[in-house]
Amino acid sequence: MMDKGKEKHRKTSVISVFDVWEIRDLTWRRPHYPSYEVSEHKIGSALSLEEAERIVRDAVRQRCQSHDRPAHSFRINEMPLGQFASSYEDTSEYIYDHDGSRLDQRTFPREEGVFEGRPAEEVRFREGDICEVLESGSVHLGFVAAVPPSVTQAAKVNNGPFKMDADDDSYLVMNEETGDSHEHVNALRIFKPRFRIHPAIERRLRKAYADSLTFYRRMEITDVTAGERIKALTQEMGWDLRIESPRWYRDSFKLHIQGVPGFADGLDLQIRQQLAWDHMDRIRFSFLRLAGLPAEGRGYRLKQIKPPTFFKGKTPAISPTSYYF
C-alpha cells in the first residue's frame, strides 16, 4: 500500500464517479504460465476515491470469507459525471493487487492530460525483470526491455511543440520470441508474476532478453552481409549499382541499377530486408531473369510502387520506374 501521506490525487472541479473493476482469474489449471485467461467485472461505484477503495477491501474480504480464489487485481477509474465520456476518457486511474494494496496510479486525464515523466521511486520494474502483462481477456509473461521516461526526459519533450500523454507512460516489454517481438505496455497494466515460473520458460525469457541487447548490432552486421551479396549479384549481371541500406528494422534495401534490359533510365528497386536476409537465392534467380540469362529456380516478379491515394493531386516523390520484390 502506498504511503497515504504521499498519496497524490488531482483536485478537480468536475463531479466524478469512481468505478471499481475486479479482474478475475479464469484459469483453474496449473501451471498458469506462459499465459492465462482473465475477465473484468464492474463491482461498484462511489463518489470518492476513499469509498471506492472501501469497495475493493470489501471484495477482498468477501473472497477470503468464501474461500474463493483471489482476484488477479482491481482497478478504479475516475469518470466525469454529467457529460459525454467514453471509457477512454477517465480523469484518473488506480490499480491494486489481489490483496487490495495500491500498486500504481495515473492522476491526470488520459485524453487531455500531459505526462510529466516518472520519478525513479515510482518506476516499479527494472530492465530485465520478468513481468505479467494484462491485456484484454488474458495475462502473459514478458520481460522489461525499457522503462517509462523519467521526469527529465519528459520535460525535454514537453518543452517543445509536442506534449507527452498517457500512452507515453509505458514499459517496453518483449516476449520470449526475441528480437523485434515487443509491445509498449501501459505502466498500469504490468504486474509481478503471481505464480511459479517453470525453469524452461524462465530460461527462454532470459535468453530473449540477452538476445534483445545485441539485436540491433546483429541486424547491422546482417545488413552489411546482405548488401555485399546484392552488390556481387549486380556485378555478375554487369550492372552499375547504387545501394542504400535499411535505416530501421523491416525497412528495405533501396537500389538504383543501370544496365537492366528494358529500363533505359535505370531501375529503382526496393528489396525488403527480410528477403535479403533469407532468400538471396531467389533474388539471384530474379536478377538472372531480368538480365535475360538462363536460370532454373523460383524468383520474384517486379511489382510497381504506386503513389498513395491520399495525396489528392499532389505529386509524391515516387519515380515511375520504382519497383519492389
Task: Classify residue 162: in a domain, yes or no.
Answer: yes
As given in the structure block, the three cell numbers for residue 188 are: 498500469
Are residue 272 and residue 300 in the same domain, yes or no? yes
Are residue 265 and residue 297 in the same domain, yes or no? yes
Q: What is the structure's pLDDT at 216?
A: 84
Are residue 237 and residue 284 in the same domain, yes or no? yes
Are residue 161 and residue 225 in the same domain, yes or no? no
Q: State the residue range of the domain holding 238.
A: 216-324
Listed residues 164, 197, 230: the one ending a domain: 197
Listed residues 197, 229, 255: the one ending a domain: 197
Are residue 150 and residue 192 in the same domain, yes or no? yes
Are residue 168 and residue 226 in the same domain, yes or no? no
Q: What is the structure's pLDDT at 179?
A: 45
Q: What is the structure's pLDDT at 59?
A: 95
Are residue 35 and residue 65 in the same domain, yes or no? yes
Q: What is the structure's pLDDT at 295?
A: 82
- Measured CA to CA, the distance from residue 161 to residue 164 in angstroms comes to 10
Task: Classify residue 12: in a domain, yes or no.
Answer: yes
Are residue 178 and residue 297 in the same domain, yes or no? no
Q: What is the structure's pLDDT at 121?
A: 95
Q: What is the structure's pLDDT at 176?
A: 62
Task: Classify residue 45: in a domain, yes or no.
Answer: yes
Task: Classify residue 227: in a domain, yes or no.
Answer: yes
Distance of CA 304 to the CA centre of its chain: 31
Listed residues 146, 163, 197: the one ending a domain: 197
As given in the structure block, the three cell numbers for residue 108 are: 491526470
Give how far Cα 280 sits from Cα of 231, 258, 261, 264, 291, Å: 12, 20, 21, 26, 16
pTM for the whole structure: 0.71
Task: Classify residue 206: in a domain, yes or no.
Answer: no
Task: Classify residue 131: in a domain, yes or no.
Answer: yes
Q: What is the structure's pLDDT at 178?
A: 41
Task: Classify residue 209: in a domain, yes or no.
Answer: no
Give how far Cα 187 sits from Cα of 124, 148, 195, 218, Å: 9, 8, 20, 29
Contacts of 192 (CB under 8 A, 6+ apart): 131, 132
Structural domain total, the chain: 2
Are residue 88 and residue 134 in the same domain, yes or no? yes
Are residue 162 and residue 306 in the same domain, yes or no? no
Average pLDDT along the chain, 325 residues, taken 10 residues at a time: 47 77 86 89 95 96 86 94 77 95 94 92 94 92 93 93 92 69 88 93 87 87 96 95 93 95 92 95 94 88 78 53 86
Are residue 266 and residue 313 in the same domain, yes or no? yes
Q: What is the structure's pLDDT at 284?
A: 94
Q: What is the structure's pLDDT at 133?
A: 94
Are residue 50 and residue 168 in the same domain, yes or no? yes
Task: Classify residue 205: in a domain, yes or no.
Answer: no
